[in-house]
Amino acid sequence: MDIFLQQIINGLVVGSVYALIALGYTMVYGILQLINFAHGEIVMIGAMVTITCINFLIGHNVNLPGPLLLALGLAMAIPVTMLLGYLIERIAYRPLRKAPRLAPLITAIGVSIVLQQAAMMIWGRNYRAFPAILPSDVVEFGGASITTLQIAIIALSIVLLIGLFLLIERTKMGRAMRATAQSPDVARLMGVNVNNIISLTFMIGSALGAVAGVLVAANYDQAHAYMGFMIGLKAFTAAVLGGIGNLGGAVLGGILLGLIESIGSGYLGDLTGGFLGSQYKDIFAFLVLILVLIFRPSGLMGERVAERA
């Protein structure tokens, strides 16, 4: 029972991070019907910039409490990733907006590789340790344990998710985003500057991605130039699982995927008689992707394709 509870806790932590990243995929898809495969790299760069910034502050003997250092690092990383998200859309996707859908998809993969290589040139090819600035007190309950950091990850994710939903459901800007997603031409005729809304969508998604990247790096105590690839694919899987283009679906998909992966990997050894260990947990994400694509391509909360056409 305690293993099960522990895996649920781990799953929720990982899942809430997947949810934050999946939102970036799904928001862009909702408006442009484009899979922004460079989003995973944004997540990685968010983590890298934060680590560099914190190390810089520590190196200059800035004595601040850990969470404040982290906040300063994020305050640096968020604008950087927002600018990057803006530039990616402006340079790589906007010129191809009227091109066949395969073209921007290939460009997206290209951008992703460029960013990965650039990150490797800047930060090197080795793992970067996440500075040990955060308290790692452990809370025990019911035979399972959760660190204060993990509690903070879940709490911060919830706050950001609520903030995003309020922005989209309750504000004029959110209304313009929803209108643009449903019909860009008509939104234009209502005076919505569609290009600005698209830029904004990339920037908001990138900011969420940066936070997610930092949370992942803090949780695993490390970051790496390649980290964006796998986490990006998993968050994409989460977005597809929930129904790509659907914000609520991205959150549901992220948390479900986190739980499936975590619980699955917890019992993988037992299931295969010790043949496969928990290091094979990635199997579950892609098994889910395959199953969803076969049995419910529109995802759990997705619209049927016919309705969109």
Partner 1 sequence: MTKVLLEISGIHKRFGGLHALNDVALTINQGEIYGLIGPNGAGKTTLFNVLTGLYQPDEGKFTFNGKDLFCQKPYIVVGSGIARTFQNIRLFANMSALENVMVGRHVRTKASVFGAIFRPPQVKNEEAAIRARAMELLEYVGIPHHAEELACNLSYGDQRRLEIARALATDPQLLALDEPAAGMNPKETEDLKELMQKIRNDGVTILLIEHDVKLMMGLCDRIAVLDYGKKIAEGRPEEVKSNPRVIEAYLGVAPE
In the complex, the residues that contact partner 1 under the rule CB under 8 A are 167, 171-176, 178-179, 182-183, 185-193, 200
Q: How far is the CB of 301 from partner 1 (least distance, A)?
A: 13
Q: How far is the CB of 299 from partner 1 (least distance, A)?
A: 16
For partner 1, the closer of residues 60 and 172 by Cβ is 172
Whether the Cβ atoms of residue 28 and residue 268 lie closer than 8 Å to each other = no
For partner 1, the closer of residues 191 and 273 by Cβ is 191
Instruction: Indicate if the alpha-carbon torsion angle 178, 179, 183, 185 is positive or negative.
Output: negative
Q: How far is the CB of 243 from partner 1 (least distance, A)?
A: 13
Question: How far is Cα 50 from Cα 48, in angstroms, rounded to an integer?
Answer: 5
Q: Which of 40, 9, 18 is nearest to 252 (CA)?
A: 18
For partner 1, the closer of residues 179 and 233 by Cβ is 179
Helix (H) or strand (E) holding 235: helix 227-242
For partner 1, the closer of residues 111 and 181 by Cβ is 181
Q: Which of 234, 233, 228, 237 is nearest to 114 (CA)?
A: 228
Q: How far is the CB of 173 from partner 1 (least distance, A)?
A: 4
Whether the Cβ atoms of residue 37 and residue 235 lie closer than 8 Å to each other = no
- At 247 the three-state DSSP class reads helix
Q: Which amino acid is at 119?
A: A
Q: How far is the CB of 179 from partner 1 (least distance, A)?
A: 5
For partner 1, the closer of residues 117 and 183 by Cβ is 183
Q: DSSP of 111-180, one letter per residue?
A: HHHHHHHHHHHHH-SSPEEPPS-S---EEEETTEEEEHHHHHHHHHHHHHHHHHHHHHHHSHHHHHHHHH
Count of CB atoms situated within 10 Å of the CB of 293: 13
Q: How far is the CB of 134 from partner 1 (least distance, A)?
A: 26
For partner 1, the closer of residues 94 and 175 by Cβ is 175
